[in-house]
Amino acid sequence: MDEIEEKKEFMPKPIQVKFAELYMQVPRKTQIEIARELGVHENTVANWLHNKELRAWLNTKCNKMIESSLVKLYRVGIEKALRGKFDFWKVIMELAGIYQPGMKINTDKAELIKIEVVQAQQQTQQDNNSSPEATESHQKPQNRSGQE
């Protein structure tokens, strides 16, 4: 008799969910600080970090957090690149899975990324201009690239 064993999705305990929240905070707390805040032994935290299922679940949460922040990260990256600092881009691209050390970079998507970032900047400017706190300096569009 062949039985297909169903793999159940990992469901963290409530204390593990709280652990994930503390673990992903910036600035990051140490394992000892997290253990004290949760009221568990530091070995418990270390064991959680070695648990493959919990680790996979935690990585999924981290990836979702990164994906939801990419537009902001792209904007920061462009501002840094305009000042001649390019290391930030490497980190962003590695986090997003776009770049891995040693791989050839496909520049076909670069124009699409540029368009997305420019659109995000324009939307931010529009949002700032429509707010009651908008001042004259916010209402004048600034061209950081020096191009017309």
**Domain locations along the chain:** 14-65, 70-130
Question: In which element (H, E) is residue 60 found?
Answer: helix 52-68
Alpha-carbon gap, residue 54 to 59, rounded angstroms: 9
> Helical H runs in 51-139?
52-68, 70-82, 87-95, 110-130, 136-139
Question: In which element (H, E) is residue 7 found?
Answer: none
Do residues 52 and 67 make contact, with C-beta atoms less than 8 angstroms apart? no
Alpha-carbon gap, residue 63 to 61, rounded angstroms: 5
Average pLDDT of the chain is: 77
Res. 109 pLDDT band, cuts 50 70 90: low
DSSP state of 146: S
What pTM value is reported for the model? 0.47
pLDDT greater than 80 at residue 105: no
- Predicted pLDDT of residue 148: 44
The percentage of the chain sitting over the pLDDT mark of 70, rounded to a whole number, equals 71
Alpha-carbon gap, residue 56 to 41, rounded angstroms: 22
pLDDT tens-place string over residues 20-70: 999 988 788 899 999 999 999 999 999 999 999 999 999 888 888 877 777
Do residues 57 and 12 make contact, with C-beta atoms less than 8 angstroms apart? yes
Token pair recorded at residue 31: 């394992």
